[in-house]
Amino acid sequence: MLETHLDSPVTRRRLRTGPAADHIDAFTDWLHLHGYKPVSIDLLLRSLAGWTDWLLTRGFTAQDLLPGFEACKLAIKEEQRVRYSRGPNHNSVKAAGVFIRFLQHQGKLPLPVTPASASELWPVLGQFRAWMLQHRGLTETTLDVYQGVLVGLLETIGDDARAYSTEALRAFVFDRARPHGIQRAKSIVVAVRSFVRFLGVTGRCPPGMEYAIPGFASWQLSSVPRFLVAEDVERVIGSCADYVFESRDRAVILLLARLGLRASEVAQLRFADIDWRSGSIAVCGKGRRQESLPLPQEVGDAILLYLNKGRPPLRVPELFISALAPFRPLTRAAVTHIVRSALRRAGIKAPINGAHVLRHSAATSMLRQGASLAGVGAVLRHRDPMTTAHYAKVDFDLLLEIAQPWPGVSSC
């Protein structure tokens, strides 16, 4: 009921006499059910009243909510509003948007027309995605990256694979890669080659055309790992203290910093992945490979604290969810945002402004504490030992483990 969540009798009267009156009680209960805090519900309802007042003055009725919503957005964009005056503002538009979504969720208003997806516009992309999932074991995250490149390919040279030429494919790769660095350029080549290989295997174009797409040269192990020193990692973890979302963010950052998990792996973590009896955690990494890692005491304690005191009661299998309503499982981007916020609070200028800097930092920290390259590779779940060898460059003593003697000369 409206009276339960809104103290102002004036605002209640405005809402009960406006175009939203028939649904305002159900809307208020819906906000409470979806985890909105009392202060957020109060602000939303006050802002919504500004919108319904505007609808009345402009002649919109309860049957004109969608046109009224669009008209109000346009009016706020075009009209100069006097500060502190009564009337709709950007908060009113946000509140009205939540109210519109509620009515659509309840079937009172038609759902918005969503633009056609890439797979609907180009069915071959959907078929390629299913083929890669089945035969190559790629993750959805990787295929999303591929799709961004392939949409550009189809927009540029069309979707008739029989008309593809090696010249057109090479020209697209060069043009697409020109503004980017070497790593992004290499990922563009991989995406296009994979797609053209799929077209050849399925008989849509002559087989072998993928070999006409050139690669971009880069020396193996030529770069230096970008990481944070141990003191800075502890500052990032410590920045969660007294923060409003302390328990969740600290658990997330510890998983990244102590176990070297990727952002997507933290976001996908489920209750069933943690074995409290054996003190282990199951991680689904690249190639959808399920692997088990030990769960350190510090990390386990942080997760338990979050579950007991910080996690809202949302019935989903995912471990980490958003801290503000509407509640939903965290995404990879949300995990990255958590790390960026922690870096900012700690006052650290990181070489990588995202979650992956903690994975690099975990690897270099383990090596400096005496772990072997093979042990670090096992924790980070590297398939190629040379990937782990990349981290040995942070300590010249560790380079002796992989250095090869010059032919004809005894080793140092």
Catalytic residues: 262, 286, 356, 359, 382, 391
Instruction: Give the closest residue to 333 by CA, choosing from 263, 256, 270.
Output: 263
Q: By the 8 A CB rule, do 342 and 239 touch?
A: yes
Backbone angles phi, psi at 274, to 5 degrees: -105, 125
Residues 18 and 49: their CA atoms lie apart, in Å, by 8
Residues 266 and 299: their CA atoms lie apart, in Å, by 13
Q: Which helix (H) or strand (E) holds 132?
A: helix 123-135
What CA–CA distances, in Å, run from 220 to 41, 49, 227, 326? 55, 62, 19, 45
Q: By the 8 A CB rule, do 253 and 321 touch?
A: no
Does residue 293 come out as left (phi exceeding 0), alpha (psi in the -120 to 50 range) or beta? beta
Residues 335 and 265: their CA atoms lie apart, in Å, by 10
DSSP 394: G
What sign for the dihedral angle of Cα 339, 344, 347, 348?
Answer: positive
Residues 99 and 30: their CA atoms lie apart, in Å, by 10
Residues 412 and 227: their CA atoms lie apart, in Å, by 29
Q: What does the DSSP assignment read for 30-98?
A: HHHHTT--HHHHHHHHHHHHHHHHHHHHTT--GGGHHHHHHHHHHHHHHSPPPTT-SS--HHHHHHHHH
Q: Count how many Cα atoms sit within 13 Å of the Cα of residue 256 in the half-sphere of its side chain.
A: 32
b (16+ CB within 10 A) / e for 354-385: bbbbbbbbbbbbbbeeebebeebbebbbbeee
